[in-house]
Amino acid sequence: MTTTHADYQLSQLDQLEAESIHIFREVAAEFEKPVLMFSGGKDSIVMLRLAEKAFYPAKLPFPLLQVDTGLDFDEVLSTRDNWVDRLGARIHIASVDDAIANGVVIDDGKTSRNRHQIGTLLNAIEENGFTAAFGGGRRDEEKARAKERVYSHRDEFGQWDPKMQRPELWSLYNGRIHAGEHMRIFPLSNWTELDIWHYIDREQIEIPSIYFAHERQVILRDGMWLSLSDAVQPVGNEQVETKMVRFRTVGDKSQTGCVESTASTTAEIIDEIAIARVTERGATRGDDRFSEAAMEDRKKEGYF
Amino acid sequence: MGTPQTSSDHGQMDLLRFATAGSVDDGKSTLIGRLLLDSKSIFEDQLEAVEASSVSKGYDYTDLALLTDGLRSEREQGITIDVAYRYFATPSRKFIIADTPGHIQYTRNMVTGASTADLGLVLVDARQGLTEQSRRHAVLLSLLRVPHLVLAVNKMDLVDWSEEVYDKIHKEFTTFATKLNIPDLEVIPISALQGDNVVTRSENTPWYSGPTLMHHLENVHVASDRDLVDVRFPVQFVVRPKSDEFHDYRGYAGQVAGGVLKPGDEVVVLPSGMTSKIQGIDLFDQEVAEAFPPMSVTVRLEDDVDVSRGDMIARVNNAPKPSQDIDAMVCWMTNEPLKPRQKLQIKHTTRTARAMVKDIQYRLDVNSLHRDQDTKELGLNEIGRIQLRTTVPLLCDPYSKNRTTGSFILIDEATGVTVGAGMINNAS
């Protein structure tokens, strides 16, 4: 808590924290069955920290939901386990492989794992009857998200209709839904990437080690460094190289690129980001680069 | 100015939320693009995308407006259909812009964007002077009690940087503003396209001695806009761990809406009227000495009084009177008009109830400020004064006193859609 009590000023980071905690409490109070969508990335970990603060000393009044792509980084899974253990939280795992095996999603061999997550996720929300799902989306990430509400209404097909979103005034959130519909909740709407990192730094929050610079065998593909793994093997003229890298976002291994970096602490990452000239998604997410409106399309289908 | 913040004071900066109003023709998107660009909040790939897009559209210059056109459906139609939020920061402040479109659905979007704003930025085209639209923007910002207003007189380059033109608009606006509630006004001559007086002082306006737009945004004092006197703590959630370690813990979680709470304070819980003392105030695992707006905290009381969500904690001698009869200004936000005897759901602070429209007193013409007393209903994007009767008492203040405890939303019971936004005049 960093306040100047003399003039009752709250720093911008404390204001963001207070706003997010307010959102968590509103949802917990008004929705029958909320769930926190946990990707293992830094944003969903910050969400977890805020939720922890919102209900302390009680445990989280909702479970976590993770979509297991089958291509997750081990470092991400172990950080997840540490968080779940420490908070005594409940977690549902929805597996893309199971969803494919059960025919819930169809693998045509061409579609990315990230896209298959949509069907898997919607199926898990429907099967468990979740009425509100917290997501770590931020409005500064991408143009299509600048108009996203904190409470984002999804119809019974899990779809987002930009024209049907409700006006959102003051801090009065409207959580009314019909049976079969659900609400996506974005408590980090007003946070920027830099805010997230400053918060991680200030709160000493544990995040997966792949965010920090480390040596890794990588392959340059479409201008992006991909990690050598069972999912990514060199094809054609591609060379395996060893580089000092770190990840700026966490997705599945086949899609998430890393950047060359020597930043090994949160403070160094903050310095690096402050002078970075490319947005985090544009740099390292293959799935956002297919078309200018890629994110908008996936959002309409029910992406995070 | 404009240097990226590498230092650890990023978390310590304060925050300014502002709403922009104006149409594409006034150069609003260009101005926002310039603020983002000059504060280095635009990244290379975003700028490249916009440059490529400008070239493919056959423009001679980079259309900064493209930076803020979000949805593909909007880009195809070349319009903006919704409030968009933008972020930028300078070394001293973080800014959240609520960017509202200037045409269709105007009032609804403007009211939404202004509801959380500390400052409203209205753009006028120096060649056109004040238009009906700019007056309407000012009326709405005043109605929403946005405490600071900036009138940016744009396209000064197209009127040869004429002091006379600026003075005329300034004077005309000041005269008009006397009818409104605008505690703080700044009128700034700019050229968004060329950057004059946006971030750097213009050599073209030696007659202008006021601040540049960015300087004003960075320095306008917003801390004193909050009510630090009248304690208002709407209870959101009751925290009961029921664990061995915290067996008897019972805390009332919420966000402070007004005043300063301290342990030892004598408080009253509304609507029951039971009194107690604050035993402690928790912020996560820390006890704090004081809580003030907009902190989210958990309050513990000395006595085992019955408190639940929707209740409000206030001071014994300074508490809102519970009331079921609400007199308010309402902005109507849906196609089907608001009519007397209509029943709606109302959400006020953390309390939800049903409400019936007892009377529509008048419809306010936001262009002329004329009050149409003969109106029988309120249509989409119309504003009027109405009387509501609620099923349970609300714990409210006049909106002019507290924007949190003085505001509410109306929800259609069948569709679940937010159909109205209300600002309380009086409760009796």
Asked if B403's CB is within 8 angstroms of A8's CB, the reply is no
Helix (H, G, I), strand (E, B) or coil at B155: coil
What residues in A contact B108, CB-CB < 8 Å?
167
- pLDDT grade for B29, boundaries at 50, 70 and 90: confident
- Of B114, B358, B411, nearest to A178 by C-alpha is B411
Chain B hits for A143, CB-CB cut-off 8 Å, are: 69-71
Give the residue on B whose Cα is nearest the Cα of A177: B416
ipTM for this model: 0.93
Interface contact B418-A146, CB threshold 8 A? no
Residue B312 near residue B270 (C-beta atoms within 8 A): yes
Please tell me the predicted confidence (pLDDT) of residue B70: 54
Give the model's confidence band at A159: pLDDT under 50 very low, under 70 low, under 90 confident, else very high.
confident
Task: Give the 3-state secondary structure of chain A.
Answer: CCEECCCCEECHHHHHHHHHHHHHHHHHHHCCCEEEECCCCHHHHHHHHHHHHHHCCCCCCCCEEEEECCCCCHHHHHHHHHHHHHHCCCEEEEEHHHHHHCCCCCCCCCCCHHHHHHHHHHHHHHHHCCCEEECCCCCCCCHHHCCCCCEEEECCCCCCCHHHCCCCECCECCCCCCCCCEEEECCCCCCCHHHHHHHHHHHCCCCCHHHCCEEEEEEEECCEEEECCCCCCCCCCCCEEEEEEEECCCCCCCCEEEEECCCCCHHHHHHHHHHCCCCHHHHHEHHHCCCCCHHHHHHHHCCC
Question: Taking CB atoms and an 8 Å limit, are A169 and B290 in contact across chains?
Answer: no
pLDDT tens, residue by residue, A229-245:
988 999 999 999 999 99
Helix (H) or strand (E) holding B55: helix B44-56
CB contact under 8 A, B284 and A146: no
Contact (CB, 8 A) for A151 and A168? yes
Between A and B, how many CB-CB pairs are < 8 A? 211
Are the Cβ atoms of B296 and A194 closer than 8 angstroms?
no
Asked if the Cβ–Cβ distance from A140 to B43 is below 8 Å, we say no
Best CA proximity match to A67, nearest among A30, A97, A47 = A97
Q: What is the structure's pLDDT at B163?
A: 97
Q: Residue A201's closest chain B neighbor by CA?
A: B8
Out of A29, A277, A282, the one facing B237 most closely (by C-beta) is A29
Rounded Cα distance, A21 and A18, in Å: 5
Shortest alpha-carbon distance between residue A30 and chain B (Å): 10
Shortest Cα distance from A86 to chain B (angstroms)?
A: 15
- Render pLDDT for A64-99 as a digit per residue (tens, 0 to 9): 999 888 888 999 999 999 999 999 999 999 988 888
CATH of domain B8-225: 3.40.50.300
Residue in B7, B29, B40, B87 to test binding to A, most A beta-carbons within 10 Å: B87
B232-315: CATH topology is Elongation Factor Tu (Ef-tu); domain 3 (2.40.30)
Fold (topology level) of A3-196+294-301: Rossmann fold (3.40.50)
User: Domain residues of chain A, as ranges?
Assistant: 3-196+294-301, 209-286
Q: Do B253 and A25 touch (CB under 8 A)?
A: yes
Per-residue pLDDT averaged across B303-314, rounded? 96
Contact A172 B228 (CB under 8 A): no
Name the pLDDT band for B4 (thresholds 50, 70, 90).
very low
Write the pLDDT tens digit of every residue in B262-297. 999 999 999 999 999 999 999 999 999 999 999 999
Residues of B in contact with A203 (CB under 8 A): none
B81 contacts in A (CB within 8 Å)? 162-163
User: Which has more confidence, B171 or B41?
Assistant: B171
CATH class, domain B323-427, is mainly beta
* Contact criterion met (CB < 8 Å) for B289 and A178: no
Nearest to residue A151, comparing CAs of A138, A166, A139? A166
A contacts of B261 (beta carbons < 8 Å)? none
- Say yes or no to pLDDT of A3 above 50: no
> So what's the pLDDT on residue B23?
66
Distance in angstroms (rounded) separating the CA atoms of residues A169 and A172: 6
CA distance B128 to chain A (A): 30
* Pick among B7, B94, B100 to test the A interface (most A CBs inside 10 A): B94
Q: Which residues of B touch A165 (CB under 8 A)?
A: 82
Every domain range in chain B assigned CATH 3.40.50.300: 8-225
User: Hey, of B295, B396, B399, which one would you mutate to test binding to chain A, going by the most A CBs within 10 A of its CB?
Assistant: B295
Where in the sequence of chain B do the CATH 2.40.30.10 domains occur? 232-315, 323-427
Mapping DSSP to helix (H, G, I), strand (E, B) and coil, where does residue B17 land?
strand
pLDDT tens by residue, B93-131: 999 999 887 665 678 889 999 999 999 999 999 999 998
pLDDT at B3 over 50: no
- Which of B118, B236, B285, B296 should one mutate to test binding to chain A, selecting the residue with the greatest count of A CBs within 10 A? B296
The pLDDT score that the predictor gives to residue B97 is 94
The pLDDT assigned to A289 comes to 46
Which pLDDT belongs to residue B22? 73
- Do the Cβ atoms of B43 and A279 come within 8 Å? yes
* Range from A163-167, B82-86, B280-284 carrying the lowest mean pLDDT: A163-167
Q: What percent of chain B has pLDDT over 70?
A: 90
pLDDT(A1) > 60: no
How near does any CA of chain B get to the CA of A279, in Å?
6
Contact A12 B108 (CB under 8 A): no
